[in-house]
Amino acid sequence: MAQKPSILLSAFADEAANTKTVVEQFSSLAALGLQYYSPRFLDLTSGGNVKHVTELNEAESKQLAKLQADYGLKVCSIGSRIGKVKLYDQTDSSHNKYVDPQTYLDTTVADTIRSAHALGAKLIRGFSFYHPAATDATPHVPAAADRLGPIVEACAKAGLVFGLEVEANLVGQNGRLLAALAKAVNQPNLVCIFDGANISCQNINGIDCCAEYVAMRDVFGWMHIKDYRIDPTQKWTGHVDEERLKNFVPCDVGDSGHELILRDLKQNLPAMEARMKALGAPGVFLELEPHLKGGGQFGGFSGPDGMGVAVRSLCRVLDYVGIDYHLRDFDDIRTARGF
């Protein structure tokens, strides 16, 4: 029997904890059988001092690296906030801030690269900048690509892959625009991240979500697993109020078309896996970011129970479409104990 195509599972750890303590985050993911995670917001000391992972100092990063090893975890990607600032220094109706490009490289980008090296990550997640609110995103592709180019180059020099995530309200708000950005930047270490809910929350149905995935398939790097149920009574205005989103659901019951998308992914996994391994990644990731108890502009929450629901829902879809994956088993425990 031919071997089934296989992917790697990961999750944003802060979504799996009722608090942001690292112990609770890691305990939840390890108990669910995951071997990879993405760090974002965390409380390293269990003292209520929550930081973004890129804000940790050298000693704190070493402590986090030791804890992830203790729990048998490795980092999939750094859940950075790169690219979630304004593209231009001009006032609009949004509350987003603008940061000078060189200052941004010297601070946010440099801190993210340092965090990736400290935790053994190969991948960095980022975004495509906020164009002026209530304007068409398409004309802003060249300016966004110019802003992204030095960031991607800095990652390349550091031996890292930069993943550009599709998201509403940003220049790269659909698969077509994300692919156009990747083509304009034209760097081999730039890949794109698909996220179904980030498209379907724009009142885009499953068939059209799949079309957006296909549009970026040639530059695909990995996928966030998050789904959304479209509210037919909600009138589309062209803008998503990210702080008011409430219809996130598991990936086997939403409107993002995950079954259709994953069937296509299955056919293209060998080429995608070869591309990612050539860049130094261990393979192609499906990264759970379910937001089942809420989500906003800079993060989301599912709790340990919600993350469990999300993992099982994804596994059901993967089993159905015939994509293999691995959750921890007794052999993993024996290996970790040296047996």
Residue 176, domain member (yes or no):
yes
Q: Annotate 250-313 with DSSP letters as a single string.
A: -TTTSSS-HHHHHHHHHHHHHHHHHHHHHTT-SS-EEEE---TT-B-SS-B--HHHHHHHHHHH
Residue 3, domain member (yes or no):
no
At 4 the pLDDT is: 87
Residue 319, domain member (yes or no):
yes
CATH of the domain at 93: 3.20.20.150
Residue 271, domain member (yes or no):
yes
- Number of residues in the chain: 339
In 3-state terms, what secondary structure has residue 9? strand
| Residue reference for tokens 């802060």 | 14
Q: Beta-strand (E) ranges in 80-167? A: 123-126, 161-165
Task: Per-residue pLDDT tens, the chain, 339 aa: give them.
Answer: 568 899 999 999 999 999 899 999 999 999 999 999 999 999 998 888 999 999 999 999 999 999 999 999 999 999 999 999 999 999 888 889 999 999 999 999 999 999 999 999 999 999 999 999 889 999 999 999 999 999 999 999 999 999 999 999 999 999 999 999 999 999 999 999 999 999 999 999 999 999 999 999 999 999 999 999 998 887 777 788 776 788 999 999 999 999 999 999 999 999 999 999 999 999 999 999 999 998 766 678 999 999 999 999 999 999 999 999 999 998 888 777 676
Residue 328, domain member (yes or no):
yes
Taking every pair of Cα atoms in the chain, the longest distance, rounded to a whole number of angstroms, is 61
Cross-strand bridge partners of residue 42: 51
Residue 2, domain member (yes or no):
no
Closest alpha carbon to 264 in 73, 66, 5: 5
Residue 227, domain member (yes or no):
yes
Cβ(253)–Cβ(227) below 8 Å:
yes
Residue 1, domain member (yes or no):
no
At 2 the pLDDT is: 64
Phi-psi region of 238 (alpha: psi -120 to 50; beta: other; left: phi over 0): left
Closest alpha carbon to 165 in 198, 136, 140, 135: 198
> Which residues have a Cβ under 8 Å from the Cβ of 297 and sit 6 or more positions away?
84, 242, 243
> pTM of the prediction?
0.96
The total of structural domains in the chain comes to 1
Distance of CA 4 to the CA centre of its chain: 25
Run of H or E including 15: none
Give per-residue burial for 252-281: e unless 16+ CB within 10 Å, then b: bebbbbbebbbbebbeebeebbebbeebeb
Angle at the Cα of 225 from the Cα atoms of 111 and 159, rounded to 5 degrees: 35
> Which residues have a Cβ under 8 Å from the Cβ of 317 and sit 6 or more positions away?
251, 252, 258, 259, 262
Structural domain range at position 71: 8-336
